[in-house]
């Protein structure tokens, strides 16, 4: 095959940029977007091993929720009131920025609220007692009893719920593609970075065909971060999640996304009336600590059992698709952001612990600020990797126990 002069220029062996973002998931694409927005004169490249949204960002359920993966009372107990409130605010900003900055129709933006439903009476009690804390934090939520909950979503067996008016849902793959297209960055898909060499003037990133050079680099690789930044391998591990999609139901029966059983299951109905259901990992924990992309009969059966138990009209719906995705989990459930040890001109974010759509767009702004300025962006302390730099724990090779409240 011949190569034109235009293609030849594009294929030159080495390309230089001001900032390179590695990883074309929601976090990497959002970082490229905010770099373009904050400093349009910067030359930015986005390097993605496969296609945009190839991993978790294009495989998830598309819930855009506020707070962490846990209920709000648990966050207050674990982190203290102030940190719990700031985490909520950060994720609320994420949702509001998605609505304000982007063209929602490009990624099926739905902002009708979300239901956090209780699978047990004890969980309902936790949700109910979260309410005063949520209200104090300015979070718009109401408690629904069992009957109201089940009526609202055509369900049975839920013990109650919190309806959070700021909950939203998206087509996650279209969101990632839209954000990347709006970023103005040079997007290089099918460019797996195989090695990183740091020198006096920044980094050289090697892909099979080309080298890329930049004084500053952002690593947004999800669970693959340790492959390029081995020094931080203790802050993230690979965990698999599985989902399925049914054939279209006859009507819209689940009008808002439902997150239930402490996040152990989640279900939503798309505009085409198909049900998307996921979770069940908690019943198969050891098997799902993997980076292998595969569904298993055991987890899929757990998901189906949940669907058929709580939505008694669903067993007649055929299952059209089953899939999995790998997520980066942090030791304490909060995302991890930091500078590459020995190379502060490199920054990273990982460990979104099953909740990256709730953080990702706002996190891109934080990373853009972190990599392009020497000052510390607001909110960085919530996610700083330095929280794991406990000398005793380091010696033991483990992350410190952060389950106790850190402030209040």
Ligand X SMILES: Cc1cc2nc3c(=O)[nH]c(=O)nc-3n(C[C@H](O)[C@H](O)[C@H](O)COP(=O)(O)OP(=O)(O)OC[C@H]3O[C@@H](n4cnc5c(N)ncnc54)[C@H](O)[C@@H]3O)c2cc1C
Should residue 62 be labelled a site residue for ligand X when binding is judged by CB under 6 A?
yes
Residue with tokens 């500078």: 339
Should residue 222 be labelled a site residue for ligand X when binding is judged by CB under 6 A?
yes
Which residues, other chains included, contact 222 with Cβ-Cβ below 8 Å and sequence gap of 6+? Answer: 23, 25, 27, 55, 56, 57, 326, 327, 328, 350, 352, 356
Residues in region 97-156 near ligand X by CB under 6 A = none
Nearest CA to 185 out of 35, 49, 54 is that of 35
Give the E-state strand segments of 122-194 in sequence order. 141-145, 160-164, 168-169, 186-188
Nearer CB in complex with ligand X: 57/372: 57
Nearer CB in complex with ligand X: 129/295: 295
Residues in region 309-328 near ligand X by CB under 6 A = 325, 327
Nearer CB in complex with ligand X: 154/279: 279
Give the range of 142-150, 208-216, 224-232, 340-348 binding ligand X by CB under 6 A: 224-232
**Number of other CB atoms surrounding residue 302 within 10 Å:** 20
Dihedrals phi, psi of 210, to nearest 5 degrees = -145, 165
Among 31, 60, 66, 330, binds ligand X (CB under 6 A): 60
Distance from C-alpha of 218 to C-alpha of 22, rounded to nearest angstrom = 6
Should residue 68 be labelled a site residue for ligand X when binding is judged by CB under 6 A?
no
Nearest CA to 232 out of 246, 222, 245, 244 is that of 222
Should residue 70 be labelled a site residue for ligand X when binding is judged by CB under 6 A?
no
Binding mask 265-304 for ligand X (x = CB under 6 A): -------------x--------------------------
User: Shortest approach of ligand X to residue 55 CB, angstroms?
Assistant: 4
Distance from C-alpha of 313 to C-alpha of 154, rounded to nearest angstrom = 8
Which residues, other chains included, contact 8 with Cβ-Cβ below 8 Å and sequence gap of 6+? Answer: none
User: Shortest approach of ligand X to residue 391 CB, angstroms?
Assistant: 28
Nearer CB in complex with ligand X: 137/193: 193
Q: Are 202 and 216 in contact (CB under 8 A)?
A: yes
Among 21, 32, 44, 49, binds ligand X (CB under 6 A): 49
- Angle between the 26-38 and 172-183 helix axes, to the nearest 10 degrees? 30
DSSP assignment, residue 102?
S
DSSP per-residue letters across 120-138: SHHHHHHHHHHHHHHHHTT
Among 15, 21, 22, 164, binds ligand X (CB under 6 A): 22
Size of interface with ligand X, in residues (CB under 6 A): 40
Residues in region 227-246 near ligand X by CB under 6 A = 227-228, 241, 243
User: Shortest approach of ligand X to residue 53 CB, angstroms?
Assistant: 7
Give the range of 35-43, 92-100, 312-320, 352-360 binding ligand X by CB under 6 A: 352-360
Among 21, 26, 70, 155, binds ligand X (CB under 6 A): 26
Nearer CB in complex with ligand X: 48/369: 48
Q: What is the dihedral of CA 84, 88, 89, 90, to 10 degrees?
A: 100
Partners of 260 in the β-ladder: 117, 265
Should residue 355 be labelled a site residue for ligand X when binding is judged by CB under 6 A?
yes
Nearer CB in complex with ligand X: 28/146: 28
Nearer CB in complex with ligand X: 325/338: 325
Please count the helices (runs of H) and the strands (runs of E) in the chain.
12, 20
Nearer CB in complex with ligand X: 60/130: 60
CA dihedral (246, 248, 250, 251) positive or negative: positive
Among 33, 45, 46, 55, binds ligand X (CB under 6 A): 55
Nearer CB in complex with ligand X: 80/255: 255
By DSSP bridging, strand 274-279 and strand 265-269 are: antiparallel
Residue with tokens 């510390």: 376
Nearer CB in complex with ligand X: 110/146: 110
User: Shortest approach of ligand X to residue 404 CB, angstroms?
Assistant: 25
Which residues, other chains included, contact 331 with Cβ-Cβ below 8 Å and sequence gap of 6+? Answer: 234, 235, 351, 388, 399, 402
User: Shortest approach of ligand X to residue 4 CB, angstroms?
Assistant: 27
Binding residues (CB under 6 A) for ligand X: these are: 22-28, 47-50, 54-57, 59-63, 192-193, 220-222, 224, 227-228, 241, 243, 278, 325, 327, 352, 354-358, 360
């Amino acid at each position: 095959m011949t190569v034109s002069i235009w293609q030849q220029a594009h294929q030159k062996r080495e390309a230089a940029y001001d900032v390179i973002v590695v990883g074309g998931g929601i976090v990497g694409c959002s970082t490229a977007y905010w770099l373009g927005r904050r400093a349009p004169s910067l030359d930015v490249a986005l390097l993605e091993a496969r296609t945009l949204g190839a991993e978790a960002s294009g495989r998830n359920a598309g819930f855009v929720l506020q707070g962490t993966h846990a209920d709000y009372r648990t966050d207050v107990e674990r982190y203290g009131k102030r940190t719990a409130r700031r985490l909520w605010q950060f994720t609320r900003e994420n949702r509001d920025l998605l609505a304000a900055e982007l063209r929602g129709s490009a990624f099926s933006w739905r902002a009708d609220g979300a239901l956090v439903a209780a699978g047990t009476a004890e969980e309902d009690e936790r949700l109910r007692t979260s309410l005063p804390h949520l209200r104090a934090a300015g979070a718009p939520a109401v408690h629904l009893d069992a009957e109201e909950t089940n009526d609202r979503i055509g369900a049975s067996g839920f013990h109650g719920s919190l309806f959070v008016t700021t909950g939203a849902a998206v087509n996650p793959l279209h969101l990632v593609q839209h954000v990347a297209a709006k970023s103005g960055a040079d997007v290089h898909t099918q460019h797996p970075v195989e090695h990183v060499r740091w020198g006096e003037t920044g980094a050289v990133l090697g892909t099979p065909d080309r080298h890329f050079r930049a004084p500053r680099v952002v690593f947004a690789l999800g669970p693959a971060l340790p492959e390029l930044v081995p020094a931080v391998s203790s802050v993230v591990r690979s965990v698999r999640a599985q989902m399925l999609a049914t054939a279209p139901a006859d009507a819209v029966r689940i009008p808002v996304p439902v997150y239930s059983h402490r996040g152990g299951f989640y279900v939503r109905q798309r505009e085409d009336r198909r049900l998307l259901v996921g979770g069940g990992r908690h019943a198969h924990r050891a098997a799902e600590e993997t980076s292998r992309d595969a569904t298993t009969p055991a987890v899929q059966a757990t998901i189906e059992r949940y669907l058929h138990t709580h939505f008694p009209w669903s067993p007649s719906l055929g299952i059209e698709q089953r899939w999995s995705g790998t997520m980066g989990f942090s030791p304490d459930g909060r995302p991890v952001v930091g500078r590459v040890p020995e190379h502060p001109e490199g920054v990273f974010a990982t460990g979104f612990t099953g909740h990256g759509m709730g953080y990702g767009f706002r996190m891109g702004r934080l990373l853009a600020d972190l990599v392009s300025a020497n000052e510390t962006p607001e909110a960085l302390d919530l996610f700083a990797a330095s929280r794991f730099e406990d000398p005793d724990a380091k010696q033991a090779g483990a992350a410190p126990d952060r389950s106790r409240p850190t402030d209040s």
